[in-house]
Amino acid sequence: MGCREAIIRLDKLEAPYPPPESVLAALEKGLQELNRYSEEGLAEELRSELARHHGIEESTITLLGGRAAAVPAVLGLVARLRKRRPRVVAPSPGLQELRSLLESHADDVTEVALLEQDESWRIPLDKLLGETSRADLAVLDNPSDPTGSLILRSLGEARDLLEETCRRETIVLVDESFYEFSGFSVAELAESYPCLIVMRSMEQAYALASTGLAYLVSSERLAQELSRLAPPPSRLSLLAGLAALRNQGYYFKMVERLIAERERTRQLLLGLSGVYAYRSWSSFLLIRTSIERVAEKLCSQGVAVAETTLGNNYARISIGNQGDNNSLLAALTRLLMEESKLS
């Protein structure tokens, strides 16, 4: 149902700050040309900028009209290769914002439970490898939604997984939509492991949520196949993406600011009796509380956070600006005080 009446929204994985003036100017120019279809030259220009920025080949990049377009495109590719609806392996909890898409396009989704470990969550690689032997596709979000954890933390772990999955011809999709906050990527392995597809998004770290702009990095062969299945970005999305990539300084500062605010908020949450905030490599925090139906009760306080499948005493909190985060902390403090009076 969601929390429609909330004044403060920390539930949608949105950047709390707007894009820079250069991006707004590019969009304004694009609005004056809404009668025009998108040009192939714009897409090529964006691929070239992405390739230069990440040090990869243009031919390995597939542009998409948003994160939500990636899962159907990859599942469509696997269905074409296997000539059946794919059997999928995915972490639990995980892929919270994309879970319904995954389930609606797959034949079956087998879950591998994440394990709490050292302030965060990990995936048991032996269990994951065992399940991929019966799957056509493994989908991993790294960092994970809603935990915020890096469930694959080294290229060595990724290689161990890919050696086996590529041998079995099982495709592996790694969602790195929050890569800018984690600083860790497996994209450099795509050239060596033809079963790997990495998804990136410009919706979070580049503050372009409403544009719907994402891209895939894979082998050139898979990129050619995916380009036939992936809905292309709109003209406005391409213009915004190009302007954003040409103003990296603004975004580096924004990401640094959000990381600092995430850590400040986490430490203050840890100081509340009855609240535990897990370590995060993303732009959100997972909290465990002593409050039942915590998301619902925060909603009544005017603060929207996201529910999770872990239980109604857990919540996923997007990092907002300092004022919004302080309002969340104040609302949680009030709820904890009310709870203590009842006990």
Distance between CA atoms of 122 and 311, rounded to whole angstroms? Answer: 18
Q: What is 227-239 written as a DSSP string?
A: HHHSPPPPHHHHH
Quote the pTM value: 0.95
User: Residues 184, 189, 190, 196: what is their CA dihedral angle, to the nearest 10 degrees?
Assistant: -80
Task: Decide: 171 and 195 in contact? Cβ < 8 Å.
Answer: yes
Tens-binned pLDDT, residue by residue, of the chain (343 aa): 578 877 999 999 999 999 999 999 999 999 998 888 777 799 999 999 999 999 999 999 999 998 989 999 999 999 999 999 999 999 999 999 999 988 888 889 999 999 999 899 999 999 999 999 999 999 999 999 999 999 999 999 999 999 999 999 999 999 999 999 999 999 999 999 999 999 999 999 999 999 889 999 999 999 999 999 988 899 999 999 999 999 999 999 999 999 999 999 999 999 999 999 999 999 999 999 999 999 999 999 999 999 999 999 999 999 999 999 999 999 999 999 998 877 6
Task: Decide: 39 and 45 in contact? Cβ < 8 Å.
Answer: no
**Domains within the chain, CATH numbers bracketed:** 8-16+249-342 (3.90.1150.10), 21-246 (3.40.640.10)
